[in-house]
């Protein structure tokens, strides 16, 4: 068979196309070096004080990515898990911005777990009815693990069935490096990445009920003694309006956060795996401190970068 001859011009064009495709693939699917992904160029390039350890990712809605930093492998996320729990509950049982929702009866298991010394809980009593909205607040604000599991049982019949829903939602959102194994985050086997949790933050902040609850520094709920205080102590500083803390020995400290820029844009970020291996309190302090530095720098640098 005669060999087909390719002209120099055609060969040059083919090579150029190949190079172009390679560059495109490098940007869209950045390569990995020793398990660490080389981040694609951010849409808004700022000089930011990214945490020295763990991983972080941030973006400005309407402008784009501010970049990601650190190891991209899945790590335990502790109570940041509860954002997905709230997302699934509200998808199955939607509430209007001012709706309280159906009354839910506290079961004996939720009361028994409320006195656990080994995890964060909310003081609920068996037989008492609380609204869906109040239970979401008890889960998200003081980070009640027992309430997260109560909501899971109410929604799906069992925590196991609810977790299957969580993982289906994660897959639907493109959270390919996320695995949920419980509704509260107490299990170290619930793992994710800052990039994946940032995808969830975008969706969570679209829900007016989640957005209103996570902005509360404290609140009072009928039938619950005293004020319920938010574990996110950054609220009200540097424009912070949410979202959710997490801490455990394995996870260290974690924070999914939302802030409003001086121009009104929504800034979202996630910081994970801060000071793991120590006490949960030490990890949470590190996550809050490092997040505050990052948020303050974004608020300071963003106006000049977007002129």
In-domain check, residue 187: yes
Q: Percent of the chain having pLDDT more than 70?
A: 86
Q: Which position among 57, 68, 120, 143 bears the catalytic label? A: 143
In-domain check, residue 296: yes
Handedness of CA 280, 282, 287, 289 (dihedral sign): positive
* CB of 136 closer than 8 Å to CB of 151: yes
Q: Which position among 82, 184, 247, 291 bears the catalytic label? A: 82
pLDDT tens digits, residue range 185-216?
A: 999 999 999 999 999 999 999 999 999 999 99
275 catalytic residue (yes or no): no
In-domain check, residue 215: yes
Q: How many domains does the chain have?
A: 1
47 catalytic residue (yes or no): no
79 catalytic residue (yes or no): yes
| Distance between CA atoms of residues 25 and 201, nearest Å | 26
Q: What CATH number does the domain containing 167 carry? A: 3.40.710.10
In-domain check, residue 28: no
The whole-model pTM stands at: 0.86
User: Residue 219, exposed/middle/buried by CB under 10 A (0-12, 13-18, 19+)?
Assistant: middle
**Domain region containing 242:** 41-305
In-domain check, residue 74: yes
pLDDT tens digits, residue range 143-177?
A: 999 999 999 999 999 999 999 999 999 999 999 99
């Amino acid at each position: 068979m005669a060999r087909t001859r390719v002209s120099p011009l055609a060969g040059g064009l083919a090579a150029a196309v190949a190079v172009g495709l390679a560059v495109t693939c490098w940007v869209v699917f950045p390569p990995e070096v020793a398990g660490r992904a080389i981040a694609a160029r951010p849409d808004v390039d700022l000089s930011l004080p990214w945490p020295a350890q763990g991983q972080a990712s941030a973006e400005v809605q309407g402008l784009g990515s501010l970049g990601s930093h650190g190891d991209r492998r899945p790590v335990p996320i502790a109570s940041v898990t509860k954002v997905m729990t709230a997302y699934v509950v509200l998808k199955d049982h939607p509430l209007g911005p001012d709706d309280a929702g159906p009354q839910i009866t506290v079961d004996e298991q939720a009361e028994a777990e409320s006195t656990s010394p080994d995890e964060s809980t909310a003081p609920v009593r068996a037989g008492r009815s609380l609204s869906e909205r109040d239970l979401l607040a008890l889960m998200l604000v003081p980070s009640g693990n027992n309430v997260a599991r109560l909501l899971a049982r109410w929604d799906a019949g069992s925590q196991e069935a609810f977790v299957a829903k969580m993982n289906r939602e994660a897959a639907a959102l493109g959270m390919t490096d996320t695995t949920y194994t419980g509704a509260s985050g107490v299990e170290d086997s619930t793992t994710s990445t800052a990039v994946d949790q940032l995808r969830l933050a975008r969706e969570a902040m679209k829900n007016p009920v989640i957005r209103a609850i996570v902005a509360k520094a404290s609140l009072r709920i009928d039938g619950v003694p005293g004020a319920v205080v938010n574990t996110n102590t950054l609220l009200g500083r540097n424009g912070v309006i949410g979202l959710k803390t997490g801490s455990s020995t394995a996870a260290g400290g974690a924070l999914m956060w939302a802030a409003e820029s001086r121009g009104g844009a929504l800034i979202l970020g996630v910081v994970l795996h801060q000071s793991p291996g120590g006490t949960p309190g030490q990890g949470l302090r590190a996550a809050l401190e490092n997040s505050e530095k990052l948020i303050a720098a974004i608020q300071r640098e963003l106006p000049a970068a977007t002129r």
